[in-house]
Structure 1
Amino acid sequence: MEDKELSCFNLGEIMPEIYGQYFSGQAYLSTLNEKDIRISNVTFEPGCINNWHIHHNGGQILMVTAGKGFYQEEGKTAISIQKGDVIHIPSEVKHWHGANTTDWLSHIAIEIPASGYNTEWLEKVNEEEYRKINGGTTNE
């Protein structure tokens, strides 16, 4: 896909290893703002998702700008997300998000500023569970 089809924001660079190690598949990062509030454009290739993680002390807002994917909180059913969706992730909620197996996904990630904000990266999403929410398919 061309950048213009993914988002009005820059695709960015391949996800740096410091974060990329927590993604299954290829993702891209474009930092849009770092002063006072961190805002990034994150783009996932088909089949790319991030590990389970928790935002401590602040939470996050995702604004889907292009494509289709999934968002899931621990203990809840995964939901489909697509362009125009806004997901508010409260502080201390274990979750994951990313593309489905056939579509790219781009979202703006806004870190809700708070003293002591940090992200705790956890285990990978179970491949069998991911395959089930994708109708039994993967991008392999």
Structure 2
Amino acid sequence: MQKLTKPATTKNPPEQFTGDVWLDPIALPQDPSQRMVVALVRFASGARTAWHSHAKGQTLHVVSGVALVQSRGESVVEVHPGETVYCPPGEEHWHGATADDFMEHLAMLENADDAATTTTWLEHVTDEEYAAR
């Protein structure tokens, strides 16, 4: 067994997020072959990701607040504390907090063979897309 050192909290970059979003890594890939990534992600009111997809999919488990999650071409879904959603590989989606409350979720995914292709970032979610519920 190895006790892992907790990496520092980071603020996510404005190129990939609208508003203030912080990430606390929980599990990062370990040698020789583990690919699992788990992070607690905290979104300020109104904050959200840009549209993006994951090579091997992503699971989101809401811890507090209410998450808004949308897959391209579908309706926005509210996800409440204790609920989990899965975004399949290659599915373009975004997720974030409501306009009135902070939201925290656990983001869980598996790195792709080439870690640089794990997440494909796309355009920002417009205010109109965000407000369409």
Q: Structure 1 length as normaliser, TM-score?
A: 0.78
SS where residue 38 of structure 1 aligns?
strand
1:116 and 1:69 map into 2 onto residues whose CA distance is: 29
- Is the CA contact 2:59–2:84 (under 8 Å) kept in the aligned structure 1? yes
1:15 aligns to 2:11 (yes or no)? yes
CA distance in 2, matches of 1:96, 1:44: 13
The 2-side partners of 1:129 and 1:114 are apart by 29
Greater Cα offset, 96-105 or 30-39? 30-39
Q: Deviations over 1:99-127 (max 9, x none)?
A: 01001110111113443451010001121
- Paired residue type of 1:76: E
- Aligned alpha-carbon RMSD (Å): 1.8
Segments of 5+ residues of structure 2 without an aligned counterpart are 1-5
Q: Which residue among 58, 66, 69 is the counterpart of 2:67?
A: 69
Task: Give the aligned residue type for 2:67.
Answer: G
Quick one: distance in 2 between partners of 1:83 and 1:16?
22
- Report the equivalent of 2:79: 81
Aligned pair in 2 of structure 1 residues 132, 89: CA closer, same or farther (>3 Å)? closer
After the TM superposition, which residues 102-121 of structure 1 pair with which residues of structure 2 at under 5 Å, given as runs? 102-116=100-114, 118-121=118-121
Residue 54 of structure 1: aligned partner: 53
Whether contact under 8 Å (1:14, 1:26) holds in the other structure is no
Partners of 1:69 and 1:103 within 8 A in 2: no
Aligned with residue 18 of structure 2, among 9, 24, 38: 24
Matches of 2:47 and 2:89, distance apart in 1: 24
Q: State, as a whole percentage, how many aligned pairs show the same letter.
A: 29
CA 1:64–1:115: 2 relative to 1, 3 Å: same
Q: Partners in 2 of 1:14 and 1:82 — Cα distance?
A: 24
- Which residue pairs with 1:126 in the alignment? 126
State the TM-score, normalizing by the size of structure 2: 0.82
Q: Which has more helix, going by share of residues?
A: 1
Q: What are structure 1's unaligned runs of at least 5 residues?
A: 1-9, 134-140
What letter matches 2:9 in structure 1?
A: E
